[in-house]
Amino acid sequence: MASAVVNIATAALDWVAVAFDAPFAGAVVFGVHINGHLVAEVLLIAVLLFQLTRKSYKPPKKPLTEKEIDDLCEEWVPEPLHPPITKEMKVEPPTIESAAGPHTIIEGKEVVNFASANYLGLIGNENIIDSCVASLEKYGVGSCSSRVFYGTTNDHIDCETRIAKFMSTPDSILYSYGISAIFSVIPAFCKKGDIIVADEGVHWGVQNGLHLSRSTVVYFKHNDMASLESTLEKLTNKKAEKVRRYIVVEALYQNSGQIAPLNSIVRLKEKYHFRVILEESHSFGVLGNTGRGLTEHYGIPIEKIDIITAGMGNALATDGGFCTGSGRVVDHQRLNGSGYVFSASLPPYLANAAIAAVNYLEDNPSVLTVLRRNISLVWEGLSDVPGLTMASDPLSPIVILKLKNSTGSLKSDLELLNKIVERVLVEDSILIVSTKRSVLDKCRLPVGIRLFVSAGHNESDIKKVSESLRRVACENWPDIA
Amino acid sequence: MVRLPYSTALTTLFSYGLLFAFGQLRDLFRKIIDWFKSSSEDLKGYAPICLGLEDFYTRRLYLRIQDCFCRPIASAPDAWFDVVERYSEDSNKTLHRTSKTSKCLNLGSYNYLGFAAADEYCTPRVIESLKKYSPSTCSIRVDGGTTDLHTELEELVARFVGKPAAVTFGMGYATNSSIIPALIGKGGLIISDSLNHNSIVNGARGSGAAIRVFQHNNVAHLEKVLREQIAEGQPRTHRPWKKIIIIVEGIYSMEGELCPLAEVIAVCKKYKAYIYLDEAHSIGAVGKSGKGVCELLGVDPADVDIMMGTFTKSFGSCGGYIAASKEVVQYLKDTCPAHVYATSMSPPAVQQVISSLKVILGEDGSSRGSQKLAQIRENSNFFRCELKKMGFEVLGDNDSPIMPIMLYNPAKIPAFSRECLKQNVAVVMVAFPASPLLLARTRICISAAHSREDLLKGLEVISKVGDLVGIKYFPTEPPKHETKVYKVE
């Protein structure tokens, strides 16, 4: 047994010696004789191959067992669906019991109404109501379908043509809700990778559109052209060929009552090659000699503004919204505007009301003179109210008064303003409102008291509101008065 | 579920490939021609407003069949209506209206209970409210836009649906887009059905919460996703989710299927998730007294946390509502942007909903409401049964008034639509982007205003055109000799 092992061992050793002493197994490397280098290399390669075939060490991944998942699900406690209800949430707005014109009825009493954006005084207009009645008898109320299916009536197409003719653009497209116009238009044209420069004071509809578009959004200081120019300057180093760039502004900001200086914006847009999206909800039918909006006000040809959107729930005293621009812009939205394709169309009687309102505006441009006179009367009456200062543009029909000295937080400011507004309603029967902000709104502009001036108000209404506000403010801040 | 025959899939892919190739060829020629013509100075330095392939579908595919969509009508969308004839001089690029109309059977409008046209009870009241309140209040709800009509409507809707309180908005689409961000934000999880409507998708994206999708109507998959997500927590940080909302629809508008609500609620209760039910198409249209899928499937409304619906379909008006507990509604009235920033619902539209709800509930003193509900159920079941017997591939469940018939091939879309219109039946085509690219279909919506003769005429025309176009994918049933009596309980 032992001799057999010794024999095998000597035989192996002989083989190794042969391998070592073979002529090709000798080498001279750097003057050193190495015998059996081939054997050494073969061994090295064998070791390498062995290591490569070993699996690398990973800490063992143990997936959760069913029981552990069950336990986690048992332990998990969700937050309640709504946060605790505060007393501000419980406050109900006043319920009006007649048409929301310049004079309305609340709880049986007649009240002067400064809370409705009825700028041209078209609420209660006989012509509009008659055309609506004819439309209701013909079409019923709703259109029961999307525009892409059988929800397009002749009235819709006529309304779009009428608005395009009024604005001197090739075409326009009608949306069924004012706020949905802007938040459908922006995602239709701006995609991921595009650049948008927007004013920080835009309202929630615009903010939602900007968020849904997934583009890069940069805000500039509210209505500050120097800030806009420096922002545009910083963003012009990208290649212009594939990236689309937009400036989004409102013509008349509903959060602050300021009017955008369109001439500077157009100059900057042409210098830096941006396109402009202009939101004209509160300026359509108000600014300009014949009510055609901000472009007429500044005397800029309408072709320079790429996309104009507006809600018709203000000056035109109807509901819905429209968007107008070049033919390409409007056609693109007929398949890509989500509020157009995926939603039911505007009720035909409201489209009829819009046509009647635009006809009225074109035939009676003097109503704008009345509106402007009313706004200046309101400014005269409210410019020296103690504790409050005028914060809006002198031409804006949304008159905003903010606190001279803020109490420190938006919440307490709003409480104080709500108290004043309530006293004015209860004691003097005048309905004015404070700017409400939702928690979801990103806008941080100061809050204030809002009055919507209409061409339907007369001088005594305006005198009443000035006297009432002055009296309540004096009582609230007796030391300043 | 859609069962796509193999040969049909191949031919559909081939058709789309051919259309794509032709479209690219035309684009190439367009580029060459444009290169010769110099581009205008105005556009120098600006990227084109629609890049490359973004509007390829619109330019090269949709424009060929543009005459099947956006057909204008000249009368109310009742059971029969007048479709305006259009002509084109440049092969469908632009369409011009004529003053001629043709009276067609309406199988496309969402007019489930027949309130679309002037109604004997609703219309006089609507006209009265129009004269009293004007077409619009020009004001937001929290300022001066809340009239006593709005308050009455909210109470009536809450009572109808079976929840403590409700809030209404002027547009159904905006309801979803602005409610979901108010309910859930970053740190929350939304699990939604894969075939949910675009408004829900937009609302979910706008909220900033994480979104996961579960397979359509597959409750087992929903449970699996829920368990995984609760166990894993938020991505990367693994913190527990703040809350989880599951969003389903009552009837899916492109499939006509009901959702398995009882099972979904059982899963939600087990894992403490909230459920959001979108009843846009089912409120007023299904259920014994029109109260929606909850009534049809025997689910208690108190088990559903948020019920949403629209007034466009069954009530012949516009707008949407949310019904939930008093606290949730109070919170939404304070936060929801569509309530705080958007113009309030038009008062005549509010009156229309109030009147139609009263008719459905029987509070107008007649039994028209229950007659309409019985009529639509009978009509839907009869129509679906007959279509299936003819060999069409019809989707959807029984009792649902929506019936999609599968077409698949892109060429069949305009063929079916134009042939039906020639025989005075107006149908609706659903192609990309409203449905997946390969699954084009035509969708029939039945109304309570359709009489038995209308339905028979519709069936006859659809059968003839179906033979012509070749969409009877299943074998026809041989006609039975005895007449069946359809029982309605």
Percentage of chain B beyond pLDDT 70 is 93
pLDDT at B44: 60
Q: Would the pLDDT of B307 be above 60?
A: yes
For B224-228, the CB contacts below 8 A with 24+ separation are B225/B191, B226/A73, B226/B191, B226/B267, B226/B271, B226/B273, B227/A69, B227/A73, B227/B271, B228/A69
pLDDT at B322: 94
For A102-105, the CB contacts below 8 A with 24+ separation are A102/A454, A102/A456, A102/A457, A102/A458, A102/A461, A103/A461, A104/A431, A104/B144
Q: Would the pLDDT of B489 be above 50?
A: no
- Contact: B77, A124; criterion CB under 8 Å: no
Token pair of B166 as six digits: 């409700």
Mean pLDDT over A194-204 rounds to: 91
Token pair of B286 as six digits: 């299904």
pLDDT at A238: 61
With H, G, I as helix, E, B as strand and everything else as coil, classify residue B147.
Answer: strand
Token pair of B73 as six digits: 């009508």
Helix axes A459-476, A366-382, angle to 10 degrees: 20
Query: Closest partner residue to A118 among B138, B206, B273, by Cβ?
Result: B138
pLDDT at A241: 65
C-alpha to C-alpha distance for A162 and A409, rounded to whole angstroms? 47
Interface membership of B470 toward A (CB under 8 Å) = no
Sequence spans of domains, chain B: 2-106+371-488, 122-361
**Chain A 204-243, CB below 8 Å of chain B: which residues?**
204-205, 208, 211-212, 240-243
- Contact: A82, B206; criterion CB under 8 Å: no
For A369-377, the CB contacts below 8 A with 24+ separation are A370/A121, A370/A455, A371/A119, A371/A120, A371/A286, A371/A397, A371/A453, A371/A454, A371/A455, A374/A453, A374/A454, A374/A455, A374/A457, A374/A462, A375/A399, A375/A453, A377/A459, A377/A462
The type of residue at A219 is: Y
Q: Would the pLDDT of A310 be above 90?
A: yes
Percentage of chain A beyond pLDDT 70 is 95
**Residues of B298-319 as b/e, b for ≥16 C-beta within 10 angstroms?**
ebeeeebbbbbbbbbbbbbbbb
Question: What pLDDT digit, counting tens, does each position of B133-179 carry?
Answer: 988 888 888 888 889 999 999 999 999 999 999 999 989 999 999 89
pLDDT at A124: 86
pLDDT-based confidence at A435, cuts 50/70/90? confident
C-alpha to C-alpha distance for A337 and A189, rounded to whole angstroms? 9
Mean pLDDT over B374-387 rounds to: 91
- Contact: B133, A99; criterion CB under 8 Å: yes
pLDDT at A267: 92
Segments of B346-480 assigned E as strands: 402-408, 425-426, 428-430, 440-445
Judge whether B435 and B407 are in contact, CB under 8 Å: no
Residue from B242, B294, B285 nearest B265 by CA: B294
Q: Would the pLDDT of A389 be above 90?
A: no
Residues of B in Cβ contact (< 8 Å) with A275: 46, 49
Interface membership of A63 toward B (CB under 8 Å) = no
- Strands A245-250 and A195-199 turn out to be parallel
- Contact: A100, B139; criterion CB under 8 Å: yes
- Contact: B147, A132; criterion CB under 8 Å: no
C-alpha to C-alpha distance for A210 and A245, rounded to whole angstroms? 13
**Alpha helix segments (H runs only) across B74-171:** 122-133, 148-161
C-alpha to C-alpha distance for A246 and A277, rounded to whole angstroms? 7
- Strands B96-106 and B425-426 turn out to be parallel
Residues of B in Cβ contact (< 8 Å) with A334: 70
Give the CA distances from residue A112 to residues A96, A109, A122, A397, B140, in Å, rounded to whole numbers and listed in that order.
11, 10, 16, 16, 17
Interface membership of B173 toward A (CB under 8 Å) = yes
C-alpha to C-alpha distance for B465 and B463, rounded to whole angstroms? 6
Mean pLDDT over A417-421 rounds to: 88
pLDDT-based confidence at B98, cuts 50/70/90? confident
Interface membership of B381 toward A (CB under 8 Å) = no
A12: burial class by Cβ within 10 Å (0-12, 13-18, 19+)?
exposed
Judge whether B112 and B314 are in contact, CB under 8 Å: yes
C-alpha to C-alpha distance for B254 and B276, rounded to whole angstroms? 19
pLDDT at A327: 87
C-alpha to C-alpha distance for A148 and B69, rounded to whole angstroms? 5
Judge whether A381 and A398 are in contact, CB under 8 Å: no
Locate the chain A residue with the closest alpha carbon to B69: A148
Token pair of A307 as six digits: 């996309």
Judge whether A171 and A164 are in contact, CB under 8 Å: yes
pLDDT at B457: 93
**Chain B 114-153, CB below 8 Å of chain A: which residues?**
115-119, 122-123, 126-127, 130-148, 150-151
Q: Is the peptide bond before B433 cis (omega within 30 degrees of 0)?
A: yes
Query: Closest partner residue to A90 among B181, B305, B330, by Cβ?
Result: B330
User: What is the DSSP code string of A424-481?
Assistant: HHHHH-EE-EEPP--TT----PPP-EEEE--TT--HHHHHHHHHHHHHHHHHHSTTT-
Mean model confidence pLDDT for chain A: 87
Mean pLDDT over A334-351 rounds to: 90
User: What is the DSSP code string of A386-409?
Assistant: TTEEE-S-TT-SEEEEEESS--SS
pLDDT at A19: 67
C-alpha to C-alpha distance for B458 and B88, rounded to whole angstroms? 28
User: What is the DSSP code string of B174-195?
Assistant: HHHHHHHHHH--TT-EEEEETT
Token pair of B132 as six digits: 């009293």
Locate the chain B residue with the closest alpha carbon to A123: B134
Query: Considering just the CA atoms, what is the radius of gyration of chain B in Å?
Result: 24
Question: What pLDDT digit, counting tens, does each position of B236-284 carry?
Answer: 888 889 999 999 999 998 888 899 999 999 999 999 899 999 998 989 8
Contacts of B456 (CB under 8 A, 6+ apart): none
pLDDT-based confidence at A250, cuts 50/70/90? very high
Q: Which of A69, A106, A111, A141 to mutate to test the interface with B (most CBs of B within 10 A)?
A: A141
Q: Would the pLDDT of A265 be above 50?
A: yes
pTM for the structure as a whole: 0.87
- Contact: B74, A153; criterion CB under 8 Å: yes
Domain B122-361 has CATH 3.40.640.10: yes
User: For the sheet containing B210-214, what is the strand order?
Assistant: B165-169, B320-324, B306-310, B274-278, B244-249, B189-193, B210-214
Mean pLDDT over A468-472 rounds to: 88
Residue from B474, B481, B478 nearest B4 by CA: B474
Contacts of A464 (CB under 8 A, 6+ apart): A112, A428, A430
Judge whether B246 and B272 are in contact, CB under 8 Å: no
Query: Closest partner residue to A73 among B72, B77, B227, by Cβ?
Result: B227
| ipTM for the complex shown | 0.90
**Chain A 84-143, CB below 8 Å of chain B: which residues?**
85, 88-90, 92-101, 104, 113, 115-118, 123-124, 128-129, 132-133, 136-143
User: For the sheet containing A275-279, what is the strand order?
Assistant: A171-175, A321-325, A307-311, A275-279, A245-250, A195-199, A216-220
Mean model confidence pLDDT for chain B: 87
Q: Which of A64, A77, A104, A150 to mutate to test the interface with B (most CBs of B within 10 A)?
A: A150
Task: Could you please state the CATH topology (level 3) that the domain comprising B2-106+371-488 is classified under.
Answer: Aspartate Aminotransferase, domain 1 (3.90.1150)
Cα three-residue angle A223-A227-A231, rounded to 5 degrees: 120
Cα three-residue angle A250-A251-A257, rounded to 5 degrees: 90
User: What is the DSSP code string of A188-217?
Assistant: HH--TT-EEEEETT--HHHHHHHHHHT-EE
Sequence length of chain A is: 481
Judge whether A427 and A468 are in contact, CB under 8 Å: yes
Residue from A287, A211, A212 nearest A250 by CA: A287
Percentage of chain A beyond pLDDT 90 is 34
Q: Would the pLDDT of B377 be above 50?
A: yes
Q: Kindly report the nearest CA distance between residue B236 and chain A, in angstroms.
A: 17
- Contact: A275, B151; criterion CB under 8 Å: no
Judge whether A200 and A444 are in contact, CB under 8 Å: yes
pLDDT at B52: 65
Contacts of B329 (CB under 8 A, 6+ apart): B164, B165, B166, B167, B322, B323
Q: Kindly report the nearest CA distance between residue B173 and chain A, in angstroms.
A: 6
Question: What pLDDT digit, counting tens, does each position of B412-460 carry?
Answer: 999 999 999 999 999 999 887 778 878 888 999 999 989 999 999 999 9
Contacts of B489 (CB under 8 A, 6+ apart): none
